Amino acid sequence: MFKIITVVGARPQIIKAAALSRAIKNHYSGKINEIIVHTGQHYDENMSQVFFDELGIPSPDINLSVGSGSHGKQTATMIEGIEKVILDEKPNAIVVYGDTNSTLAAGVAASKIHIPVVHIEAGLRSYNKKMPEEVNRIMCDHVSSLLFSPTKTGVENLLKEGFKQEAAGNYTMDNPGVFHCGDVMYDNSIHFSEMSAQESTVLADNKLIEGEYILSTIHRNDNTDTPERITGIFEALQAISKENNVEIVLPLHPRTAKILAQNLPAELYLSIQSNPNIKLIPPVSFLDMIALEKNSKMVITDSGGVQKEAFFFNKACIILRPETEWVELVSCGSATIVGWSKDKIIEAYNRYSNDSSLRFPPVFGDGKAAEFICDMMLKHLS
Ligand code: UD1
Ligand code: UDP
């Protein structure tokens, strides 16, 4: 039996891991044995456990309970814990997702003891190394043996860094295999969409009317921790909600919830709190999030995953960042980059409110990325 250790830690990784665990359960149960290690990077019930309960992911076999901390402390503690698990379990490969500190830690731990790293969501680049995620994803890509990119742009980014798409079999860290395979998040959005429609009551719970509210999420450290940026964003949301009498629902990441009172001017903070059109709510489950995305008028976010899900559900997206890794969304016009500028956010909202000609071409695969990844792991690493 081919044995993998999947390392997850942050909310989006747990969601992404659901696609692979589902593929293994449905098609590879006699061939792949998956052990799930949770680093504990995210630990609140609504940032972690809710997804295991709701998405049918097996409970983590091991939880390292690392918790929050500085980049160095958090990553180092994870490396130590993951190394021990690898030495105990002796897997054929380590599977990691995306670009968080949990991804980097697993990449470092596994590569140093010569266990092949399988990086799902490889090749994404913002070309901004001040983002902790950019450093994490570059370093992880460069110690991986199999790199699965969700987009053609991701593959092209890797080729620019010296990877070879046509490298022949026997893949190792020194001769890595690069594959364009579609997006496991797209697999999940298709799979859970119907379930969300049947089970989620989030619209009714929050008295939201289909097609008439904006969904917004904000959690990038650059935005939350810089008073000027978080102020620009909330001034824009306040203005949009008041001038258009439109509701904005914000499931707040704990990082944002903790820092809002501190980093917004007191007057703005109070007026946000007393604005009935702005609904600050705790993080929601994935089924609820799909319901909020599918039924929204528009999405305003700095999240990587939420940008893409907006696209999957044919919604315009205003990106609260100076750049994006998901350049396909912007090049086809259905998403726009505005950073944290109040004026640009408002301008983008007005433009998209009056635009019924948006395009959402199918650039994220066929909903079977996870099956492809399982096939390639078995073919090249077992
Ligand atoms: C991390 C990832 C980011 C990803 C995001 C997904 C890194 C460097 N960043 O950012 O790429 O987009 O996850 O959500 O890995 N906190 C809680 N409860 C929790 C988790 C976090 O209260 O369950 C608070 C803590 O105050 C913590 C802060 O949020 O210090 C930040 O958490 P952390 O995991 O360090 O980074 P994220 O901003 O979540
Ligand atoms: N998400 C969720 N509940 C929320 C906010 C986000 O289930 O309250 C999901 C969202 O649908 C997407 C993923 O979490 O699948 C994105 O995670 P996040 O925005 O935290 O991180 P990023 O994608 O930016 O790394």
- pLDDT at position 168: 76
Helices (H), ranges, 200-356: 202-205, 221-224, 227-244, 254-263, 266-273, 286-294, 304-312, 327-331, 342-353
Whole-angstrom distance, CA of residue 121 vs CA of residue 98: 5
Options 3.30.1200.10, 3.40.430.10, 3.40.50.2000, 3.30.565.10; CATH of 190-353: 3.40.50.2000
Contact 323, 302 (CB under 8 A): no
Cα-Cα end-to-end distance for the chain: 9
Contact 344, 232 (CB under 8 A): no
Residues of the chain with CATH 3.40.50.2000: 2-183+365-381, 190-353
- pLDDT at position 158: 98
- pLDDT at position 169: 78
Q: How many angstroms is it from 43 CA to the middle of ligand 1? A: 10
Given a cut of 80, whether residue 311 has pLDDT beyond it is yes
User: What is the rounded average pLDDT of the residues 99-110?
Assistant: 98
pLDDT in tens, 329-356: 999 999 999 999 999 999 999 999 999 8
pLDDT in tens, 132-173: 999 999 999 999 999 999 999 999 999 999 999 877 778 999
Dihedral sign for Cα atoms in the order 160, 164, 165, 166: positive
Ligand 1: residues with CB < 6 A are 10-12, 41-44, 47, 68, 99-101, 132-133, 219, 221, 253-255, 258
Whole-angstrom distance, CA of residue 214 vs CA of residue 223: 19
Given a cut of 80, whether residue 380 has pLDDT beyond it is yes
Whole-angstrom distance, CA of residue 240 vs CA of residue 216: 12
Q: Which residues are catalytic?
A: 219
pLDDT in tens, 35-55: 999 999 999 999 999 999 999
Residue with CA at minimum distance from ligand 2 atom 16: 305
> Superfamily assignment of 2-183+365-381 in CATH?
Glycogen Phosphorylase B; (3.40.50.2000)
pLDDT in tens, 266-279: 999 999 999 999 99
Given a cut of 90, whether residue 370 has pLDDT beyond it is yes
What is the pTM for the complete model shown? 0.98
pLDDT in tens, 246-269: 999 999 999 999 999 999 999 999
